[in-house]
Amino acid sequence: MMTMEPASLESLRVLFHSDDYIVVDKHWDIRIDSKMWYEKHTVQTQLRHRFPQLADPSTYYGFRFCHQLDFSTSGALCVALNKAAAGQAYRCFRDRTVTKAYLALVRGWMERETQTLDFSIGKNSSEGKTHMMCIEGTEGCENPKPCQTELTVLEFGLYDEEPVTKVLLQPLTGRTHQLRVHCSAIGHPIVGDFTYSSGADDTPFRMMLHAHLLHIPLEPQPLLVCAGDPFLPTVDPKWLPQRSLLTLKATVDALLEQRVEEGRRLKEERAKQRQVEEKEKRKGSSRQRMVENEEERRQCQEWLSEWAGD
């Protein structure tokens, strides 16, 4: 279980371990890797400390991280232990068949229980904000790209006596700072998000964003990991739930069932597409053979005519 204590070299929590992958519960306020000498604690150094025999000297950091989590975000982080495993996971992320869901505490009480956040996000080029992302149409927003997040309300409560809502966020795209920017855009910034509150929300000990669910449809066995719920009164007594709408387990189960059905339909569509392509290929081959046969007959007739003329 995640605690309020800061990260240490020994605090790495392993959620899943096989010959091909390790999934860890990344601590809040720790980088995945860093080239800076003063960054003593990173996930990479934690992995080297716990599993020195698994470090791959052919890679810069020793481990192949399949995806990214922000410095301030905690939760499920997948690491590939060999090149083939990394390639298979990469294809799943590239094809957008991976399911990720995050828990968050956001400021205020939300009126809508479910909603799709659809705001294009781009790089902020404004002076002093180049480390940030921004919504399309705001000043300094460069190269915005389409971006969608599904939001489901789980609970209403108080954090340090201020109204907050506990939500489950499912990113449908994978833009930098996507969840943080989207929550801020609807007027419900994530609790403890110092960056997207313009430095105002600096009282909480961490940013309340946690990668709870990770499902990668690997073959032959999918990888499914849940990283628990750190936003509980037993972990942080400043969080006081008052009214529950949905349980986390039921919401995640419904999400996974939906994704499995979508994956099944996608496989069927791809199989049909392959059949069509193979059929067209066979037709093309038949047409080519017909052309070749006609050409052979023509050449034979010419030869026979010439031979008869002799």
Active-site residues, by number, are 70
C-alpha–C-alpha distance, residues 64 and 20, integer Å: 11
Q: Which residues contact 131 (CB under 8 A, 6 or more apart)?
A: 195
Take residue 212 and report the two structure tokens written for it: 């709870």
Amino acid at 117: L
Number of Cα atoms under 13 Å in the Cβ half of residue 31: 11
